[in-house]
Structure 1
Amino acid sequence: MSLEQKFETLTPARLFKWLAWILAFATGVVGMVFAFYLMEFNDGFSSQNADWGTFGDFIGGTLNPLLSFLGLIALLLTIVLQSKELESTRKELERSALAQEKSESSLREQSKTQIKQQFEDTFFSLLDQHNKALEKISAPTGKWTNGRSDIDIVRETVFDRSVSNLAEAKHALEEKNGLCGHYFRVLYQILKFISMNVPDSQIGFNFNEGTIKHCKLANNEKMYSNILRSFLNYDATQLLAIYCYCTGPQDTYWNFKLLIERYAFLEHMPFVIDSKINNLLQDTELFYDQAAFGHSQFKNVHNVAQC
């Protein structure tokens, strides 16, 4: 076994054993030096200072280097043991720090999972309410309506030939607000909930025009809005484009309009009604930012029809 390996196996018990051997060896050496002196100079104790000085020089010159060397060895062994213990302590602290970091990381992941789970529970609950509201206005209401649904009645009013611009269309829609207003309010609240509460949302509680327009989409934010958008039929999407028409930022529908643009909610809206390009829907391209239409293929059909 090499010296380095011996140092690696050094323990307090082994150090105490080594120190005991060093002490015994030093005691033996001291005894031998005194015995050697007394054997050579056995005339008894002298009363001369010079003799005692010579005796001191002999003892000091003989024992001091040897005892100093043995003391140095004992000190080095003690230092080695202390260094080893400090290294063990350092490694243990590193392991503890690593374990704590892993624990904190695990807690953060658990927290993220819980936040996502809470968000999705609420989102899908709201989505269920949305679908029920949409189903209600899409179902035929009775004999007096000739089998038409609420959304059919509202569409006939909004897209009547006498309505010439978006402002008039919005006014006509508001007159029928009792039929479909509840649905659009539910839709707005879900979009607002997504923007504010989706995990890692940059909007959070700072829900305003600036944050809606300029904050980057969080991870999966568009996915949730796309899930919601997928349940809207063409009729509801066309009415939504009219419903969110407003005059400016001071209007109560302005933030709704910005959410429509943020999530490209009109991407799948056709610009035709009864196989003809509708002028009102065509005008929405001038009102909404192009982001509202995403990568709409209906716009291409519309442009081709214009040519």
Structure 2
Amino acid sequence: MEKSTATAPKKITESLWRLPYLFIGISIVLFMFVFSFVIFNIVKFYPRAFESNQDSPSLLGQLGDFSGGVLNPILSFATLIGVIYTIILSAKTSRQSDIRSADAVDRQTDQIKLLAKQIEILDRQSFEMVFFSLLQTHARNLEAVQTDKNGERLVGLPAIDLMLATSDIEKIEISQFPYAGEERHLMDDYCKTFRKTHEQPLSHYYKTATQIVFYIEKHLSLNDEQKKYYIEFYFSTLSSQEIKAIYIFAASSDDDRFLNLFKERKLIDWLPHGKVLDKLKLYPLTDR
């Protein structure tokens, strides 16, 4: 039903385009009929009009009046049909030009969309190239972390494990302090002491970690969900001890931006649990 309704205007339009041709055909037929009628009347009623005698001018005048009276309406009608046909032909040409212009606009719009998509793909490829390069740099910085244990050199993740074990945050006795402010002050001191003690082996490692996260956060072409995906992808490559060390460094930093990201991106959920550490996780929720 909808198909027949949609095709009805199209059939009407096609019929309108045929009208000029119909009028032209009718005009030709009428002209031939009238012309034959005039010739017949000339032959029958004005045979002496073309003879050389005194009645010829009068007869020729009558013949001219007769022919003009008959042919002028026909010619006027034909002229009107020609004007109408010209107008319709001009409208048809204009309509075809509009259709071509609309098609050109559609093609141009499609090309712009395709170009935008290609730019988006190239931008994402460029972003991921830098992103994975930073991950490789971070992995190299992890291998550069070193410490000693009874004369034995530990490198990488075992070194970080030893640093966290020798100055374990869970060894802090916070239960003796009745006020949250005193607990917080004690844990702040622990974080600053840990950072000061291990600044040299962990500084490059921590800086690369912040660089990766801020590179993702500041990339304009990524929406919020994409930023969350890449940050969580990065954290999925880290061990819980690495995340713990990074968090303690962030908690002891004078710049709160990285610490605030732990709250905003819910990266705190990636931290291991502990009596003292769980209280330290609350710090980003309050003013420092």
One of 264, 267, 276 as aligned partner of 1:265: 267
Q: 2: distance between equivalents of 1:284 and 1:241?
A: 10
Asked whether 1:184 is paired with 2:206, we answer yes
Q: C-alpha displacement at 1:103, in angstroms?
A: 0.9
- List aligned pairs for 1:73-92, cutoff 5 A: 73-92=81-100
One of 93, 115, 121 as aligned partner of 1:107: 115
Greater helix share, structure number: 2
Aligned pairs, number:
253
Q: 2: distance between equivalents of 1:71 and 1:31?
A: 20
Q: C-alpha displacement at 1:119, in angstroms?
A: 0.6
Q: C-alpha displacement at 1:8, in angstroms?
A: 5.7
Q: C-alpha displacement at 1:68, in angstroms?
A: 1.5
Asked whether 1:170 is paired with 2:175, we answer no
TM-score w.r.t. length of structure 1: 0.67
Q: C-alpha displacement at 1:24, in angstroms?
A: 11
Q: 1: distance between equivalents of 2:76 and 2:162?
A: 109
Letter in 2 for 1:287: Y
Aligned residues: CA RMSD: 3.9
Letter in 2 for 1:70: A
- Partner of residue 159, structure 1: 169
Q: C-alpha displacement at 1:44, in angstroms?
A: 1.4
- Partner of residue 226, structure 1: 232
Q: C-alpha displacement at 1:115, in angstroms?
A: 0.8
Q: 2: distance between equivalents of 1:66 and 1:110?
A: 65
- Partner of residue 40, structure 1: 45
- Partner of residue 124, structure 2: 116
Q: 2: distance between equivalents of 1:145 and 1:263?
A: 38
- Partner of residue 7, structure 2: none
Q: C-alpha displacement at 1:264, in angstroms?
A: 1.9
Q: C-alpha displacement at 1:146, in angstroms?
A: 6.7
Asked whether 1:133 is paired with 2:141, we answer yes
Q: 1: distance between equivalents of 2:116 and 2:12?
A: 48
- Partner of residue 282, structure 2: 286
Query: Is the 2:24–2:78 Cα contact (8 Å) retained in structure 1?
Result: no
Q: 1: distance between equivalents of 2:154 and 2:241?
A: 16
Query: Is the 2:24–2:81 Cα contact (8 Å) retained in structure 1?
Result: no
Letter in 2 for 1:168: D
Secondary structure of 1:270's partner?
Answer: coil
Q: 2: distance between equivalents of 1:38 and 1:3?
A: 46
- Partner of residue 8, structure 2: none
The structure with higher relative contact order (CA 8 Å, sep 6+) is 2
Alpha-carbon displacement from aligned partner over 1:34-70 (angstroms, at most 9, x marks no partner): 78458635321149xxx96x77764443222211111
Query: Is the 1:159–1:169 Cα contact (8 Å) retained in structure 2?
Result: yes
Q: Cα gap change, 1:232/1:37 in structure 2, threshold over 3 Å: closer, same or farther?
A: same
Alpha-carbon displacement from aligned partner over 1:129-156 (angstroms, at most 9, x marks no partner): 112223433x665762575844245322
Q: 1: distance between equivalents of 2:14 and 2:131?
A: 64
Query: Is the 1:245–1:257 Cα contact (8 Å) retained in structure 2?
Result: yes
Task: Quote the sequence identity (%).
Answer: 21
Q: 2: distance between equivalents of 1:141 and 1:56?
A: 129
Secondary structure of 2:133's partner?
Answer: helix
Letter in 1 for 2:192: H
Q: 1: distance between equivalents of 2:258 and 2:14?
A: 75
Alpha-carbon displacement from aligned partner over 1:196-242 (angstroms, at most 9, x marks no partner): 116334xxxxxxxxxxxxxxx2x321110111111221222222232
Query: Is the 1:131–1:231 Cα contact (8 Å) retained in structure 2?
Result: no
Q: Cα gap change, 1:19/1:8 in structure 2, threshold over 3 Å: closer, same or farther?
A: closer
Secondary structure of 2:98's partner?
Answer: helix
Query: Is the 1:119–1:199 Cα contact (8 Å) retained in structure 2?
Result: no
Secondary structure of 2:267's partner?
Answer: coil
Asked whether 1:67 is paired with 2:67, we answer no
Q: Cα gap change, 1:151/1:5 in structure 2, threshold over 3 Å: closer, same or farther?
A: closer
TM-score w.r.t. length of structure 2: 0.71
Unaligned runs of 5+ in 2: 1-10, 50-54, 175-185
Q: Cα gap change, 1:223/1:62 in structure 2, threshold over 3 Å: closer, same or farther?
A: same
Unaligned runs of 5+ in 1: 202-216, 291-307
Letter in 2 for 1:121: M
Query: Is the 1:241–1:284 Cα contact (8 Å) retained in structure 2?
Result: no
Q: Cα gap change, 1:61/1:112 in structure 2, threshold over 3 Å: closer, same or farther?
A: same
